[in-house]
């Protein structure tokens, strides 16, 4: 694609976290009152958080969840057993506080914001809603690219702006969820085109299609990929996003890039959220250094996508709901990792004897 605006081009330039503190951080973890490695994955996460914040006393203040919602034109082709209207109905459920993501965020003290990225409906004003639709749903990517270049740039910038707003209010850890009937179809096409894996390895049951529905969905997506053939050995990630993505996926892509640019700890949710990260990582690989992967979804393709990204998910709960639910469940564990590094006593400070060297 042609050059983006200077603001977005700067967003794409993400520095890798400093490794200067690696030895000091590992020492700080090792001298806590515990056998080395006994906190398992939490030690790895604590080290990563310390590196991101360049501190052995990290603070994950104001954990925040942004849920981006958008409609997809490809739903008209029959990829989902649910009607498009469910997207808007679920946004209203979020605003009323009745969805799983509301429950999990309330339980764990996570600030929740719902972003209308491009739903084909109007919503009443609400304190938890940011109403910034790019359009009333994307185009049907069987017939045309899902969005124009201008719409893509608008969505990327809008997602980035929401992260900047929360970071300016003190958020240090952020996660992204989504809602959009048809968005597993977009995510599957993004995954196939950017990884080169067979489409069958990328397409799942989404909202619960039966075997016939899965076969129909796969056939539709095969036609869509054939209608927009790849050019070159390494497809342009943003052109691919414009072709197959939803507005919610595009806003999440911009949000990932901005969060990494600002040095936030990013908590990655499931299949669709990870597809947006896949695009962001192809734009700027350093974004992955800021990501903690919450869980491995039961949606077909998610584990393979995680493997492509070199990710080590914290949880395996059989989730496939979306909304950011897996990320919200993982946030308390990530806070615990930061807390033990910040607050746990050292052997010397607690007057506890360390393990004796045995030469074995």
By annotation, the residues acting in catalysis are: 323
Could you give the CA distance from residue 292 to residue 236 in angstroms, rounded to a whole number? Answer: 25
Distance from the first to the final alpha carbon of the chain: 58
Hey, is 297 helix, strand or coil?
coil
- How far, in Å, CA of 54 to CA of 52, rounded? 6
Instruction: List CB contacts of 86: < 8 A, sequence separation 6 or more.
Output: 181
Distance CA 4, CA 11 (A): 10
> Around 127, how many Cα atoms within 13 Å sit in the side-chain half-sphere?
4
Give the whole-angstrom CA distance, residue 279 versus residue 189: 12
**Distance (Å, rounded) from C-alpha 96 to C-alpha 324?**
17
Q: Do residues 244 and 189 lie in contact, with contact meaning Cβ atoms separated by under 8 Å?
A: yes
Is there a contact between 95 and 123 (Cβ–Cβ < 8 Å)?
yes
Which residues 6+ apart lie within 8 Å of 272 measured at CB?
Answer: 178, 180, 183, 184, 186, 187, 249, 322
CB-facing half-sphere around the CA of 258: CA atoms within 13 A: 26
Helix (H) or strand (E) holding 266: strand 265-268
CA distance 270 to 258: 19
- What does the DSSP 8-state code read for residue 256? H
Spatial contact of 342 and 58, defined as CB atoms under 8 Å apart: yes
């Amino acid at each position: 694609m042609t050059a983006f605006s200077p603001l977005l081009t700067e967003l794409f330039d993400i520095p890798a976290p400093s490794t200067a503190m690696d030895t000091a951080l590992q020492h700080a973890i090792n001298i806590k009152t515990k056998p080395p490695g006994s906190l398992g994955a939490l030690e790895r996460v604590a080290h990563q958080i310390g590196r991101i914040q360049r501190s052995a006393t990290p603070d994950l203040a104001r954990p925040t969840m942004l849920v981006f919602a958008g409609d997809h034109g490809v739903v008209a082709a029959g990829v989902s057993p649910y009607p498009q209207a469910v997207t808007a109905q679920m946004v209203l459920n979020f605003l009323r506080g009745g969805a799983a993501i509301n429950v999990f965020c309330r339980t764990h003290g996570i600030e929740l914001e719902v972003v209308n990225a491009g739903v084909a409906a109007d919503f009443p004003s609400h304190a938890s809603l940011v109403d910034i639709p790019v359009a009333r749903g994307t185009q049907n990517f069987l017939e045309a690219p899902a969005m124009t270049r201008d719409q893509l740039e608008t969505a990327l910038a809008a997602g980035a702006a929401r992260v900047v707003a929360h970071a300016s209010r003190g958020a240090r850890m952020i996660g992204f969820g989504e809602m959009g009937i048809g968005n597993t179809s977009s995510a599957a096409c993004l995954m196939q085109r950017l990884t080169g894996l067979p489409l069958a390895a990328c397409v799942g049951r989404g909202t619960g299609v039966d075997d016939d529905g899965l076969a129909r969905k796969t056939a539709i997506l095969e036609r869509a990929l054939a209608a927009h053939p790849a050019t070159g050995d390494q497809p342009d990630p943003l052109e691919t996003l414009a072709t197959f993505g939803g507005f919610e996926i595009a806003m999440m892509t911009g949000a990932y890039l901005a969060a990494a640019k600002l040095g936030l700890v990013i908590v990655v949710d499931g299949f669709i959220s990870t597809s947006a990260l896949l695009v962001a990582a192809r734009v700027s690989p350093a974004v992955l250094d800021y990501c903690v992967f919450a869980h491995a979804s039961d949606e077909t393709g998610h584990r393979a996508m995680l493997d492509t990204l070199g990710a080590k998910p914290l949880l395996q709960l059989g989730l496939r709901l979306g909304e950011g639910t897996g990320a919200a469940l993982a946030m308390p564990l990530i806070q615990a990792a930061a807390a033990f590094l910040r607050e746990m006593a050292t052997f010397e400070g607690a007057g506890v004897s360390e393990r004796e060297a045995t030469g074995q």
